[in-house]
Structure 1
Amino acid sequence: MAITVLVTGADGFIGRNLIHYLASRNFKVIAASRTVSDFKHPSAVSAPLPDLATPFDWQPLLEKCDAVVHLAGIAHRFADEEQYNLVNHRATEALANAASRQGKHLVFVSSIAAQSGSFSQAELTEDDPPKPTNSYGRSKLAAEESVRAARGSFTILRPVVIYGQGEKGNFSVIHRISGLPIPLPFGALKAQRSVLSVENFSSAVVLVLTEPRARGEMFIVSDPTPLTVPDLISRRRATLVRAPWLLSVPENWMRVFFAAAGWTGLWQRIGEPLIARPTKLLALGWKPTLSDPNSDLMNAPRK
């Protein structure tokens, strides 16, 4: 009998890819989001969600599913602490309590930001004390604590930055500039960053939905091999049949330039390290399949 999964935040980059991944693997999916979309798959049906900053009765949706993957939230926006708290923390708390009462397994998709800032000189593991550095990370950590406090069946995932069809943020920028027919000054950057393909993320979700040993646990999710910015650009340009064309401008010069331009935050995300390996998830039996950020990851249609 197919498992029915409620996926919140279904209309975002991660959600749309996950919906198609689950539906193509014999899951039945209730795709819940503020913007109702037709996913054009017989195993996926859409359902509306309100603004999660307002109270919401989860029970009618939970009665239709066996498990929940909670993606919905605020990320990469100019929001204040209260907005992050309402949407990322309190709405998750309400969902966790409702899922616990109805005996539904909840997969809460948190973020590596709940554990660390934009970079870390030490390699991160699940056992490290969490030290979020911004409102987003603090709201995700508070939501994790609420999920545990609900005393229901749960799994918490802390993915690193995710790439794939429809990607946003740093990956989208790097891929765009990699397509420019000009030399780029990033050849000397040596900082390794853990990244995650949206297909590998989706396969991790399937594992924790079906593996009883994942219940009550928290997992870092990332591709097994971290990469550098020169790696990303070189691989992207190789797909365009171009040479890497990277200039080795000293890192100190780059750091000073980014600071003078007011881009310190961007520098921390590309010039500083953040390694978080999926060792615990691999020990559970996870078998990631993709490791190239320039692969054609999914055939899900764009909006």
Structure 2
Amino acid sequence: MSGELIALTGATGFIGRHLLRSLSAQGYRVRVLLRRPVEVPEGASGAVVGDLSRPMNMSAALAGVDAIVHSAGLAHAMSGTPEDDYRSSNIEATRRLAEAAAKARIGRFVFLSSIRAQTGISAPGIVTEADQAHPTDPYGRSKLAAENALAEIGIDWVALRPVLVYGAGVKGNMATLLRLAQTPYPLPLAGLSGRRSLISVENLSAAIVTVLRHRGTLGRALAAAEPEALRLPDMIAALRSGLGRRPGLVPCPESLFGLACRLTGRSEAFARLSSDLVVRSDGLAALGWQPRLTSSEGLAALARGDAAT
């Protein structure tokens, strides 16, 4: 039980809520930094209200803090968001918080970035931290720019670049996939061949604890992905396994499925489903991070837990 004090942003979001519980369970005291007055989330040691885009005086908020975990930001799922909004929420807010952390002599700044800071929605071969970063959209560019800002400030920082995160309360594409798996119908998805890396929110939380505990200087970005990359049919099979059911998948030519997606305005969704994004987490593995569950096991557990609620 470390007893160290962690300042956590984004504690009311999907990932932040899990981080708050996980960090508290690991013995950390957690002070949540909130944008507006709300009830202090369960498990927090305290809360400070302030606007991260204009942190004029963060000395009180960061007093006694050993490390910052910055998970707040504008999410990629907010399609159509102007690039200026990403700049304000993901770059400038991160920069200003890091500057305040440097002034307060905080020991470590952990930034929750994204694999989109490194690559687009798909990539040939296996993506590693050694590959040059080539973000392809405003969201990814904003995350990479925030990482670069951290490198300029002169603090001990680390950016985690998670792939698609799943877990209880997940929204977006994974929530849609879970709903599909819960239907009683056969699904014409057996022919889709794109392999995707995933990470559960529990394994991501463990990765954050790993970098918090590391005593050497980090100062770099680390990919965060479970070792097992799955095809969409594998994901459905794992989810339905958690529900105690057979996969219930039937073949459909990938070209025909792609045509249906294009006709319904879901070309980007098809690009995700039919192409690869396989990521290897060499840096985290070198620090001793080991995922507790495989992606298949984690998806089965997600489906069981969702069915039980």
Comparing 277-286 with 14-23, greater Cα deviation is found at: 277-286
Aligned residue for 1:293, secondary structure, equals: helix
TM-superposed CA distance for 1:55, in Å, is 5.2
TM-superposed CA distance for 1:66, in Å, is 0.8
Match of 1:63 in 2: 63
Q: How does 1:174-213 map to 2 (within 5 A)?
A: 174-213=177-216
Aligned residue for 1:155, secondary structure, equals: strand
Match of 2:269 in 1: 266
State how far apart, in whole Å, the 1-side matches of 2:203 and 2:40 are. 24
Kindly provide the amino acid, as one letter, of the partner of residue 13 in structure 1: F
State how far apart, in whole Å, the 1-side matches of 2:171 and 2:227 are. 21
Match of 1:231 in 2: 234
Comparing 206-215 with 13-22, greater Cα deviation is found at: 206-215
Matched, 1:295 2:307: no
Aligned partner of 2:100 among 92, 98, 107? 98
Q: TM-score, normalised by structure 1?
A: 0.93
Distance 1:91 1:298, change over 3 A: farther
State how far apart, in whole Å, the 2-side matches of 1:40 and 1:83 are. 30
Matched, 1:275 2:278: yes
Distance 1:284 1:217, change over 3 A: same
Distance 1:155 1:245, change over 3 A: same
Aligned residue for 2:46, secondary structure, equals: strand
TM-superposed CA distance for 1:298, in Å, is 12
Aligned partners of 2:95 and 2:149 also within 8 Å: yes
State how far apart, in whole Å, the 2-side matches of 1:127 and 1:40 are. 39
Aligned partners of 2:73 and 2:89 also within 8 Å: yes
Comparing 84-93 with 115-124, greater Cα deviation is found at: 115-124
Distance 1:253 1:132, change over 3 A: same
Aligned partners of 2:207 and 2:289 also within 8 Å: yes
* Deviation string, structure 1 residues 199-233 (Cα, Å, up to 9, x no partner): 00000100101102362122100111111111111
Aligned partners of 2:6 and 2:68 also within 8 Å: yes
Matched, 1:19 2:20: yes
Aligned residue for 1:212, secondary structure, equals: coil
TM-superposed CA distance for 1:97, in Å, is 1.5
Match of 1:80 in 2: 82
State how far apart, in whole Å, the 1-side matches of 2:243 and 2:303 are. 16
* Percent of aligned positions that are identical: 35
* Deviation string, structure 1 residues 8-65 (Cα, Å, up to 9, x no partner): 0110000000000010111000122335343333x53233233x44454333212241
Aligned partners of 1:5 and 1:67 also within 8 Å: yes
Comparing 234-243 with 7-16, greater Cα deviation is found at: 234-243
Aligned residue for 1:183, secondary structure, equals: coil
Aligned partners of 1:22 and 1:206 also within 8 Å: yes
Matched, 1:168 2:171: yes
Q: How does 1:131-142 map to 2 (within 5 A)?
A: 131-142=134-145
Aligned residue for 2:247, secondary structure, equals: coil
State how far apart, in whole Å, the 1-side matches of 2:300 and 2:148 are. 35
Q: TM-score, normalised by structure 2?
A: 0.91
Aligned residue for 2:222, secondary structure, equals: strand
Aligned residue for 2:246, secondary structure, equals: coil
* Deviation string, structure 1 residues 51-82 (Cα, Å, up to 9, x no partner): x4445433321224110000110012142000
Comparing 124-133 with 7-16, greater Cα deviation is found at: 124-133
Comparing 183-192 with 81-90, greater Cα deviation is found at: 183-192
Matched, 1:34 2:32: no
Kindly provide the amino acid, as one letter, of the partner of residue 23 in structure 1: S
Aligned partner of 1:257 among 250, 257, 260? 260
Aligned partner of 1:120 among 120, 123, 127? 123
* Deviation string, structure 1 residues 250-301 (Cα, Å, up to 9, x no partner): 11111222122211111122221100111221122112102222314999xx
